[in-house]
Structure 1
Amino acid sequence: MSGLTNALVICAVVALVVVRQFKAQQIGTDRRWWLIPAVLVFLAVREPGLIDPAHRAAAAALLAAELLVGLAMGAAWARTSHVWTAQDGTAWSKGTKATAVVWAAGIGLRAALYGAGALLDIRQGSASLMLALAATLLVRSGLLVLRAGPGRATYGVADLAHDPMRKEPV
């Protein structure tokens, strides 16, 4: 895939994720929550030049750092998302102000890593960004599914104050 196509895929996924994170959305424990990250990984690993052949060790370290930032960002994003159970027993999540801070910090760290790579003259493509985004989405979705799973104690009472379907105040 061309660099332009990769950039468009990345922008589309980020736009979808950012728009959806601040809206209440149902957490589907039976859905294929891992599908988008799997597609991103597939697209990334089939790209030639994931590791700069002229700087293998430094490029691998940079990729590892990018993946660690992605994993940490996914965990922090899941932690800062509000999760509740509606009256019908479905689990919901919504990003908070802290989620926006996590996104800003993650983007800042990724920009710093890109800058460090540029200073070291390491060729960086969009594949590493796709892998990091896949890691972020996979960790976030997996942790939300765990938080909303059958082990979540509701004691028969839904969090009505945060039910997106409820019209009147509690």
Structure 2
Amino acid sequence: MLIMRTTRSLKLTEHGRVIFDRASAILADVEMTLDAARQFTRPEGVLHMTGSIAFGSGRLADLISRYLMQYPKVDVRVSLEDRIVNLAEEEIDVALRITAGTQWNLPARRLAPIRWVYCAAPSYLQEHGGTTDPRDVAGRECLVYPAMTQNGG
């Protein structure tokens, strides 16, 4: 029996007191452990990331700046390149790529849609005609950014 009950009071038995004291100590240990863990919720250390040249040169500086304002103890190291990197071998934490799909065996998620802009010189349009359907571009000679095409070139 852990508690002695009367019509007017509740009182712990000797066994109840031992269990109560031990449970209180365990809860205090849990609370101290959680307090210690809360100290590590703010990221710190080195974050190695890579991004495509097109995305990195246009958007990455602003994103990193905002990230560092929120997490000043992080040292961000960025490499802008269009090749597919081996994240494990090159010790890369995050890779941002503009791609039509994820054919790699890595966790990935879509961050934002990309709007394609097709441009042509007036003389080209005069000679070959224009189009309003982006699918028509596939049959034309174009200068493309290989890393941003579905087959990489």
Normalised to the residue count of structure 1, the TM-score between the two structures is 0.21
| Structure that is richer in helix per residue | 1
Query: Which structure has the greater CA radius of gyration?
Result: 2
Q: Which has the higher contact order (CA 8 A, sep 6+)?
A: 1
| Structure that is richer in strand per residue | 2
